[in-house]
Structure 1
Amino acid sequence: MLASPSLAATEEEQSNTVQGTLVNTAEDRAPVEGVEITVTSPDGEVFTDTSDDEGKFEIEVPGRGGRVMIELDTETLPDGVSLRNENKSSITRNLNPGQRAVILFPIGPDTRDIATKWDRIPQLVVNGLIFGIILALGALGLSMVFGTTGLTNFAHGELLTLGAMAAYMFNVAMGLPFVLAAVLSVVVGLAVGWAQDRGLWRPLRHRGTGLIAMMIVTIGLQFLLRNLFQYFTSGRTLNYDAYVTPSGVDVGLFSYTYRDAIMAGISAAVIIAVTLALSFTRFGRATRAVADNPALAASTGINVDRVVSGVWIVGTGLAALAGVFLGYTLGVTFNIGQFTLLLLFASVTVGGLGSVWGALIGSLIIGVLIEVSTLVIPAELKNAGALMLLIVILLVRPQGLLGRKERIG
C-alpha cells in the first residue's frame, strides 16, 4: 500500500494540508478504504481522517509548520490487508509552508532481508563518525576557550544555534545560495566571537572576576539566547531552501549520502587546518603559551588579550559552522544548542579538557557510542550512553584520554 501525501500550506492560511491516496500494490493498486490516518501537530493537537472509497484522505493541520507525526492505524486495515513492516505505521516529518513530500506505507508479505541487529553495526559506526566529526567542530572551539581562559562556557551550544539561524536568515529570508549563506554565517560567528570577548569577557577579566562568576554569566547568556531564538522561530523546525532528499551511495556493509560525505570532509579539513595552525604558526605557539601560563606569556611580550580574542573568534566560528551542518541534517530549531551542549562537554571531557586532539577523539568516540548504543537501548535514550561514559571517565581518568595529570595539594 502506498500513501503519497502532499504537504502544502500558504502563509495567509497559516495551515498545512496532509493528503494522499492509499492503494494496495499487491492487488493492482486497488484503493484501500476505511483506513484511519492521524496527524499529531507540533502543539500536540490530533487531527484524523479516514480514506474514502478511492483510498483518498485529506487532513488540515493549523499552524505554520513544524515536526508532525503521521500515523496509520493498522487496526482499521481491511481483513487480509497488513503493512509489510508493522513497526513502520508512523512517520515523523518536518512541515514547512509549500513543502511537498511522498510517504510510503508498504503492504503485503514481508519480502525484506531481515538482518540481525549486529549486521547494523557498520552502518551505525559510519553514522556515528559523521555525526562525531561535525560535533568535533563545536567541541574544538569549546576546548580552545577552556584551555586558554579556564572558562567553562555553558553558552557555547547557543553559538551553534546562532550559526544555524544565521544560515537560515541568509538562505531563506534573503534568498542567497546555501553555500554563500553558510560562509556568511561563519563570518557572523567570527564577528560575534570578537564582539563577545571585547564587550563582555575582556572587561570581566580586567575587573578580576572569578571563573565561577564568569561561568554563571555564561549560564544566564545561554538562557537569554535560547529564549531569543525561540521567539524568532516560534518554536518551529525550519529548513534551508537548499534542502533536498539526499541521494546515497551503497558500498555493501554501509551506505552514506553525498551530503554527509561533503559535510564530513569539510569538517575534517577545517579541524586539520586549525590543529596545524595551533601547532606551527606564531598565533598557535602564543595560544599554547597563554594556555600554559598567562603571566609568563605576558612577560615574554605576548599580547594575552589579543590571543584570547583570537581564540574566541576561532572558537565561535567553528561553533557556527557546526551549527550550519546540524541545521542541515536535523532542521533548524531554537534548541540545537541545548541538544548538543552536554554532548560537547562529554566530548572534551572524554578526550581531555584543553586538548585539541582530545576534543576530536572524544567527539568521534561519543558520536559512535551514541549510534551503536541504539542496538541495546531505545533510540530515545541514546544520549544517555554518552553521559554514562562521561561519568566513567571522570571516575577512572579525570584528565581524559589525552589530558595531563595535575598534582593537587
Structure 2
Amino acid sequence: MALVVSLLASAIAVLSLLFATPASAQTTPAPTPSAGTGDVSSTYSVGGIIRAEDEPLEGVEVSVEGSGFSEIGTTGADGRWSVAVPGPGAYTATLQVDTLPEGVAPRDPDNVTRDVTIGTTNTVNVLFPTGEGTAASGSIWDTIFTRFFYGLNFGLLLALAAIGISLIFGTTGVNNFAHGEMLTFGAIIFYIFTAMGWNLILALLITVALSVALGYTQDAVLFKPLRRRGVGLVQVLIVTIGLSIVLRYGYLFFFGGGTQNIATGIADTVTIGPVTVTLTSIISMGVSVVMLAAVAYFLTRTRIGKATRAVSDNASLASASGINVDRVIRIVWMMAGGLTGLSGVLYGLYRGVTWDMGFAILLLLFAAVTLGGLGSAFGALVGSLIIGIITELSTIVIPPDLRYAVALIVLIGVLLFRPQGVLGRKERIG
C-alpha cells in the first residue's frame, strides 16, 4: 500500500513540475471568438481547425445553433475558428460548404454537421475533414496515389511507436496499455517548448531526451520492482491500464481538453504528382525513415541490439549465456520511450495535439504489432505500413470515420489465415 501511495505521489509531482511552468508560458494568443448575439459569455465556446490535408484553410465559415442561439465563426490564417455560446447545452455546428476554397470539398459531403454538448468542459472542438474533393477533377488513379501517399506518411509515424510496443513485449512479455500516453507525452512537451518560442531542433532533441527519461522511470520505479517480486503478466497488464488512466487524465487536467496546433513556421508546400503536401510532412517522413533505419542497424549490427534479440527469443537462455537481462530491458524501455515520444511529435504535427491522442490510436498500434508478428520489430514496421495505407485508401469508398474499423477487419482476416502475423514465428504463439 505504501508503494502505491508513493508512486501516485511521485506521478503527481512529476506532472506538476512538467506543466506548472509551461502553462504560464503558453502565450500564443487564442483565436478570438466571434461576437454572438445577446448576452454571450466567453467562458463557453465551440471551435476547431479546418484544413485540407495539412494546409490550414482561411475564410471558411461554420454556423453554430442551439437553444435559440445562432452565430457564425470564420477561420483565420491558421485554420482556427471559434464561436462563443451562452452556456452549457446542446448545439449543432454546420460547415458552410460554399465558403470552402475552389477545389476543396468535405470528405463526406452528406455529413457536414456535428452535434456537440457543452457540459463537463467549457470548450468543445469539432472537426470537419476536407480535401477529398480536390481529387474530383482528376482521375481515380490520382485519388489512389494521393491516399496512398498520406497512408505511407501515417504508417511511418505509427511504426515508430509500434516498434516500441513490440520491443517491450518481446523482452518482457508485457502489453503496455500506457504506451499511448508515452506518445501523448512527446506531443505535449514538444508543443509546450515551441509555444515558448524554442528552436524546433532543440525542442525536438529535449523532447526525445525527456521521453527516454520517461521510459527509464517507468521501468525503474514500477516494472522492474514488479518483475523482481514475480508478479504475473495479467497483474502487470492491469497496472499498465491504471498507469494509462492516471497519465491520461493528468494530461487533461494540466493541458486541457482542446486541440492545439504545433507552430513550426514552415509554410512551404511540395508537389509530387497529384499530391500537394507541406514541407513539414516531407521532413516528418524523412525523420521517420532515418530513425527506422537506425533501429534496424541497432538491432542487427550492434552488440546491445543482438543481445536484445536474444532476450526477446529466450530470456532464460540469454541470461545463462552471460547477458544482463535487466540491463537490456532497461535499454529497451528507454529506446521505446524515445521512439514513441518522437512518434508523438510527428503525429502532433500531422493531426494536432490533444490530451487523449495516444489513447485514440492505441488500438491501431496494437493492431500493427499483432499484424506484423508479436515480438518482431520488423514485423511492427510492416504491420504499421499496412495499417496506415489501408486506413487512408479506405476513405475513397467509405466515410473517414470508419477507416480505423477497416484496418481492424484486415487484421482479423490476416490472423485467420496466418495467426502468427506477417513476420511472426509460430513458436511465439500461445
Q: Which residue of 1 aligns with 2:301?
A: 280
- The verdict on how the C-alpha distance between 1:240 and 1:13 changes in structure 2, with shifts beyond 3 A counting, is same
Q: Which residue of 2 aligns with 1:178?
A: 200
TM-score (structure 2 length as normaliser) = 0.73
How far apart in 2 are the matches of 1:349 and 1:248?
A: 35
- 2:338 equivalent to 1:314: no
- 2:236 equivalent to 1:214: yes
- The verdict on how the C-alpha distance between 1:85 and 1:351 changes in structure 2, with shifts beyond 3 A counting, is closer
Q: 2:275 is matched with which residue: 239, 250, 254?
A: 254
- CA shift, 1:275, in A, is 1.3
Q: 2:386 is matched with which residue: 352, 365, 380?
A: 365
**Counterpart mapping for 1:191-206 below 5 A:** 191-206=213-228
Q: Which residue of 2 aligns with 1:230?
A: 252
- The verdict on how the C-alpha distance between 1:40 and 1:285 changes in structure 2, with shifts beyond 3 A counting, is farther
Q: 2:373 is matched with which residue: 346, 352, 355?
A: 352
- CA shift, 1:71, in A, is 2.7
Measured on the aligned residues, the alpha-carbon RMSD in Å equals: 3.6
- 2:63 equivalent to 1:38: yes
How far apart in 2 are the matches of 1:356 and 1:301?
A: 23
Matched to 1:401, the amino acid is V
How far apart in 2 are the matches of 1:84 and 1:280?
A: 49
Q: Which residue of 2 aligns with 1:265?
A: 286
- 2:171 equivalent to 1:131: no
Does structure 2 retain, via aligned residues, the 8 Å contact 1:7–1:16? Answer: no
Matched to 2:389, the amino acid is V
Does structure 2 retain, via aligned residues, the 8 Å contact 1:47–1:61? Answer: no
- CA shift, 1:368, in A, is 0.4
3-state SS of paired residue (2:63): strand
How far apart in 2 are the matches of 1:256 and 1:50?
A: 26
- The verdict on how the C-alpha distance between 1:362 and 1:45 changes in structure 2, with shifts beyond 3 A counting, is farther
- CA shift, 1:171, in A, is 1.9
How far apart in 1 are the matches of 2:279 and 2:168?
A: 32
- The verdict on how the C-alpha distance between 1:7 and 1:274 changes in structure 2, with shifts beyond 3 A counting, is same
How far apart in 2 are the matches of 1:47 and 1:283?
A: 62
How far apart in 2 are the matches of 1:357 and 1:49?
A: 49
| Structure 2, gaps ≥5 residues long | 1-29, 35-40, 48-60, 75-80, 87-91, 115-129
- 2:195 equivalent to 1:142: no
How far apart in 2 are the matches of 1:242 and 1:283?
A: 35
How far apart in 2 are the matches of 1:45 and 1:147?
A: 57
Q: Which residue of 1 aligns with 2:422?
A: 401
How far apart in 2 are the matches of 1:293 and 1:17?
A: 53
- CA shift, 1:215, in A, is 0.9
- The verdict on how the C-alpha distance between 1:207 and 1:124 changes in structure 2, with shifts beyond 3 A counting, is same
3-state SS of paired residue (2:426): coil
3-state SS of paired residue (1:195): helix
Q: Which residue of 2 aligns with 1:164?
A: 187
CA displacement 1:62-120 (0-9 Å, x = unmatched): 69xxxx9563387xx9xxxxx9988579699xxxxxxxxxxxx9xxxx99963354540
3-state SS of paired residue (2:290): helix
- The verdict on how the C-alpha distance between 1:276 and 1:13 changes in structure 2, with shifts beyond 3 A counting, is same
How far apart in 2 are the matches of 1:218 and 1:231?
A: 20
**Counterpart mapping for 1:84-123 below 5 A:** 114-123=137-146
3-state SS of paired residue (1:406): helix
- The verdict on how the C-alpha distance between 1:40 and 1:155 changes in structure 2, with shifts beyond 3 A counting, is farther
- The verdict on how the C-alpha distance between 1:366 and 1:243 changes in structure 2, with shifts beyond 3 A counting, is farther
Does structure 1 retain, via aligned residues, the 8 Å contact 2:168–2:332? Answer: yes
Q: Which residue of 2 aligns with 1:376?
A: 397
Q: Which residue of 2 aligns with 1:341?
A: 362
Identity %: 43
How far apart in 2 are the matches of 1:167 and 1:201?
A: 26
How far apart in 1 are the matches of 2:295 and 2:235?
A: 30
Q: Which residue of 1 aligns with 2:23?
A: none
- 2:96 equivalent to 1:72: yes
| Aligned residues between the structures | 350
- CA shift, 1:139, in A, is 0.5
3-state SS of paired residue (1:8): coil
Larger radius of gyration: 1
- CA shift, 1:312, in A, is 0.3
Does structure 2 retain, via aligned residues, the 8 Å contact 1:47–1:59? Answer: no
How far apart in 2 are the matches of 1:195 and 1:252?
A: 46
- The verdict on how the C-alpha distance between 1:379 and 1:351 changes in structure 2, with shifts beyond 3 A counting, is same
TM-score (structure 1 length as normaliser) = 0.76
- CA shift, 1:61, in A, is 2.0
- CA shift, 1:234, in A, is 2.0
3-state SS of paired residue (1:219): helix
